[in-house]
Amino acid sequence: MNLALRCVAALLALFVSLPSAAAQDVKIAAAADLKFAMDDLVAQFEKQSETKLDVSYGSSGNFLTQIQNGAPFDIFFSADSNYPKKLEAAGLTEPGTLYEYAIGRIVIWTPPGSGLDPAAAGWKTLLDERVKKIAIANPDHAPYGRAAVAALKNARIYAQIKSKLVYGENISQAAQFVQSGNAQAGIIALSLALSPAMKNGNLWQIPQSAYPPLLQAAVLLKSSKNKDAARKFLDFVKSPAGQETLERYGFTHPIQASDVLSVPGNSAALHR
Amino acid sequence: MDALLLSFRLAACVSAILLLIGLPLAYWLAYWNWRGKFLLEAIVAMPLVLPPTVLGFYVLVALGPHGPIGKITEALFHRGWAFTFTGLVFASVLYSFPFTVQPLIASFEGIDRRLLDASAVLGAGHFRTFANVILPLSVPGIVTAVVLSFAHTLGEFGVVLMVGGNLPGITRTVSIDIYDHVQSMEYAAANRMALLLLLVSFTVLSLVYGVNRKFGRRMWASWATR
């Protein structure tokens, strides 16, 4: 009995002590499209630093709601720069830390062996009769979905293919729909099209001029208990090594407000 | 409103199909004993422990053109079942399976064996005993099974999210609709829909449990005075 009690006490102590050991880690909430780039960035950073990073991937909108309700993240990497701006307006962020780290790109992607070649056919891929379903992210709340719809309207084929569209909850799910072959084509993030599971498919980069730029931003949260380490990671992302990594995974480097004197409402600088 | 009606249609289809599959299967599991039975029991209970995302992921791959079910549907109908109402029914039948089968097994096993023996002695075969003795005595269990699978399908989220593709009127069920509203930060609309679902679910459940209680008692009473 005594021994059993002691075992239980030891187990309890173990469980109680586990979270406190992880309390020093920097907790990052990252948009789903960042998965592969962020894994790489984290691995590079942890090699040169004592700090451990815990990354949660998910939909930016979900993270926004969670952070507004006190989720214990240190840094928020959003797929839509409006979400960190909302947090900033609500006074939930460290002043001056909002950083536009990348511009996301969208592509038309088809699975290998489908006989469809978007690189040659461009928009016509989606009009092909073999394409019965086209996967995009939900345009009601996913930034990549909004960009896809804007691009389809820009190409004047939205009305024609609207009935073929199926909606993923986020861009990863849209990619999963087409990668599993249930949809025959998809409009997905370039960063996902370059990922190990999808890089053997066929892709065509939709011209940047066809849709508003997918400006992505990160911000340090006011509630962070580990601000110094979190700042160091943000600095690493801004560094040439960090930016080079992001570009390798299909993100374009935006011109920062600190790089040029940007005029509010003038997005021309972003259309490089 | 469309989403709510769609969810009800899905739940009705699923509980009807599950009852048809569940009755013979539960009968088999309750009254027959064989060596590998525990394996089948484990499979029946699997959806209880598997996260809907796991089930949804497997169903999505299975329905795809390279999956076992996708190959069959492509050959028969020249199309896949993902992003269709039929596909949702298929996935939900798997997902709600234990909610029909387990109450039925419990109900069948609760029947006094002597009644079954008496029925056999009086010359009734298995089917007649099932139809005239087991079924009438299992009405409360059957109602429970149907209500549970109906309610479980009504509240289903993860599997529908994984295989549905969020098509209005076809696969956008009420739980997906509520999730979309929350995602778009339309909290008021989400709240309206959620509250409606809450009220409807509570009303249906309490109605059925209330009726079941009365009906169940009357069944037993009428049997005792026979």
User: Which amino acid is present at A71?
Assistant: A
- Tokens representing residue A11 in the block: 């187990």
How large is the average pLDDT for residues B157-162? 90
CA distance B155 to chain A (A): 18
- Tell me the pLDDT band of A165, cut-offs 50, 70 and 90: very high
Is the CA virtual torsion A36, A39, A42, A43 positive or negative?
negative
Contacts of B80 in chain A (CB under 8 A): 182
Contacts of B175 in chain A (CB under 8 A): none
| pTM of this structure | 0.77
Q: Is B185 on the interface with A (CB under 8 A)?
A: yes
Q: Is B167 on the interface with A (CB under 8 A)?
A: yes
At B140-154, the pLDDT tens digits run: 899 889 998 999 999
pLDDT of amino acid A266:
40
User: Is B180's CB within 8 Å of A166's CB?
Assistant: no
**What whole-number distance in Å separates Cα of residue A55 and Cα of residue A189?**
20
Contacts of A173 in chain B (CB under 8 A): 161-162
- Tell me the pLDDT band of A258, cut-offs 50, 70 and 90: very low
Closest partner residue to B165 (CB to CB) among A62, A64, A177 is A177
Q: Is B52 on the interface with A (CB under 8 A)?
A: no
Contacts of A167 in chain B (CB under 8 A): 165-167
List Cβ neighbours of A43 (8 Å cut-off, separation of 6 or more): none
- What letter would DSSP give residue A221? B
User: Is B182's CB within 8 Å of A65's CB?
Assistant: yes
DSSP H stretches of helix in chain A: 2-22, 35-48, 60-68, 82-89, 118-121, 143-154, 158-161, 171-179, 190-193, 227-238, 240-248
Q: What's the alpha-carbon Rg for chain A, to the nearest Å?
A: 21
More confident residue, A17 or B188: B188
The residue among A110, A112, A88 whose CA lies nearest residue A99 is A88
ipTM summary value: 0.72
List Cβ neighbours of A113 (8 Å cut-off, separation of 6 or more): none
Among chain B residues, the shortest Cα distance to A68 is held by B185
At B85-133, the pLDDT tens digits run: 999 999 999 999 999 999 999 999 999 999 999 999 999 889 999 988 9
- Asked if residue A236 has pLDDT above 90, the reply is yes
Contacts of A168 in chain B (CB under 8 A): 165-166
Q: What is the CA B111 to chain-centroid distance, rounded?
A: 22
pLDDT of amino acid A257:
46
Numbered residues of chain A with Cβ closer than 8 Å to any chain B Cβ: 59, 61-62, 64-65, 132-133, 135, 138, 140-142, 166-169, 173, 176-177, 180-183
User: Is A61's CB within 8 Å of B185's CB?
Assistant: yes
CA distance A89 to chain B (A): 16
Decide: B27 and B126 in contact? Cβ < 8 Å.
no
**What whole-number distance in Å separates Cα of residue B212 and Cα of residue A232?**
64
Decide: A114 and A184 in contact? Cβ < 8 Å.
yes
Among chain B residues, the shortest Cα distance to A178 is held by B64
Q: What's the alpha-carbon Rg for chain B, to the nearest Å?
A: 20
Torsion of CA A127, A128, A131, A134, to 10 degrees: -20
How large is the average pLDDT for residues A189-200? 90
User: Is B70's CB within 8 Å of A59's CB?
Assistant: no
pLDDT of amino acid A205:
95
Contacts of A140 in chain B (CB under 8 A): 180, 183-184
CA distance B83 to chain A (A): 7
- Asked if residue A130 has pLDDT above 60, the reply is yes
Torsion of CA A123, A127, A130, A134, to 10 degrees: 70
User: Is B165's CB within 8 Å of A133's CB?
Assistant: yes
B220 to A114, A142, B139: CA distances (angstroms): 62, 56, 10
How large is the average pLDDT for residues A125-143? 92
User: Is A182's CB within 8 Å of B185's CB?
Assistant: no
How large is the average pLDDT for residues A189-212? 92
- Tokens representing residue A145 in the block: 């979905």
- Asked if residue A40 has pLDDT above 80, the reply is yes
pLDDT of amino acid B205:
83
Optimal mutation site among A169, A173, A184, A187, interface B, most CBs of chain B within 10 A: A169
User: Is A59's CB within 8 Å of B166's CB?
Assistant: no
Contacts of B65 in chain A (CB under 8 A): 181-182
User: Is B183's CB within 8 Å of A166's CB?
Assistant: no
Closest partner residue to A141 (CB to CB) among B83, B167, B184 is B184
Closest partner residue to A166 (CB to CB) among B70, B83, B185 is B83
Specify burial of residue A2 (Cβ count, 10 A radius: 0-12, 13-18, 19+). Answer: exposed
- Asked if residue A93 has pLDDT above 60, the reply is yes
**What whole-number distance in Å separates Cα of residue B114 and Cα of residue A153?**
72
pLDDT of amino acid B65:
84
Contacts of A169 in chain B (CB under 8 A): 161, 166, 179, 183
